[in-house]
């Protein structure tokens, strides 16, 4: 079976396209994973830093003084 030059060109182009996908800027889609911008207050560290203050706040806000 002979391979037509045009098909070879197509295959090479397709390969080149696939190759280009290996560029650093491209990330594979992963369902269910947050795709938005970062939120500085969402981290473990930020949550840990505010937890005492929020617990105190709950005390002053909700306890029946």
Partner 1 sequence: MKLIKKSGTTATSSRPGILGRAIGRRAFLQGTGLAVGAAAVAGALPTTMVKKAKAARSIDPKAEIKRVKTVCTHCSVGCSTYAEVQNGVWIGQEPAFDSPINLGAHCAKGASLRNHGHSTRRTKYPMKLVNGRWQRISWEQAIEEIGDKLLKIREESGPDALWFAGSSKASNEGAYLQRKFAAFWGSNNCDHQARICHSTTVAGVANTWGYGAQTNSYNDINKSKCIVMCGSNAAEAHPVAMQMILRAKENGAKLVVMDPRFTRTAAHSDVYVRFRSGTDVALIWGILWHVLENGWEDKEYLRKRVFGFDKVREEVAKWTPERVEQVTGVPREGLYEVAKIMAENRPGTFVWCMGGTQHTIGSNYVRAYNCLQLALGNIGVEGGGANIFRGHDNVQGATDVGPNPDNLPGYYPLSEDGWRHWAAVWDVDFDWLAGRFDQNEYDDGKGGKVKPMFSPGITVSRWIDGVLEDKANIAQRDNIRAVMMWGHAPNSQTRGPEMKRAMEKLDLLVVIDPYPTVTAVLHDRKDNTYLLPAATQFEQSGSATASNRSLQWREKVIDPLYEHKTDGEIAYLLAKKLGFADQMFKNIKVVNNVPEPESVLREINRGAWSIGYTGQSPERLKAHMKHAGHFDVVSLKAQGGPLDGEYYGLPWPCYGTPELKHPGTHILYDTSKHVMEGGGNFRAAFGTEYNGESLLAEDSWSKGAEIQGGYPQFDHKLLKQLGWWDELTPEEKELAEGKSWTTDRSGGIIRVAMKHGCHPFGNAKARAFVWNFPDPVPVHREPLYTPRYDLVKDFPTYEDRKLFYRLPTRWRSVQARDYSKEFPLIHTSGRLVMFEGGGEETRSNPWLAELKQEMFVEINPADANDAGIKDGQWVWLEGPEGGRIKVKAWVTNRVGRGTVFTPFHFGGHFQGEDLLHKYPEGAAPYVRGDSTNTATTYGYDAVTMMQETKTTLCRVRPA
Partner 2 sequence: MARMKFLCDVERCIECHACVTACKNEHEVPWGVNRRRVIVMDDGQPGEKAISVACMHCSDAPCAAVCPVDCFYQTADGIVLHDKDLCIGCGYCFYACPFGAPQYPQQTAFGVRGKMDKCTFCAGGPEEPHSEAELTKYGTNRIAEGKLPLCAEMCATKALLAGDGDVIANIYRKRVMRRGGRPQSWGWQAAYGQNV
**Residues at the contact surface with partner 1, assessed by CB under 8 A:** 24-30, 32-40, 42-44, 60-61, 64-65
Query: Cβ of residue 49: shortest distance to partner 2, in angstroms?
Result: 9
Q: How far apart are CA 54 and CA 52, in angstroms?
A: 5
- With CB cut-offs between 5 and 8 Å by kind, which of partner 1, partner 2, none does residue 54 bind? partner 2
Residues 36-55 that bind partner 2 (CB under 8 A): 36-48, 50-51, 53-55
Q: How far apart are CA 11 and CA 35, in angstroms?
A: 33
Collapsing DSSP to helix, strand or coil, 55 comes out as helix
9 part of the interface to partner 2, by CB under 8 A: no
Q: How far apart are CA 5 and CA 18, in angstroms?
A: 20
């Amino acid at each position: 079976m002979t391979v037509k030059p045009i098909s070879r060109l197509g295959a090479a182009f397709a390969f080149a396209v696939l190759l280009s996908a290996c560029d650093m800027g491209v990330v594979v889609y992963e369902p269910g994973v947050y795709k938005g911008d970062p939120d500085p207050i969402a981290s473990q560290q930020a949550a840990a830093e505010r937890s005492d203050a929020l617990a105190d706040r709950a005390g002053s806000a909700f306890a029946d003084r």
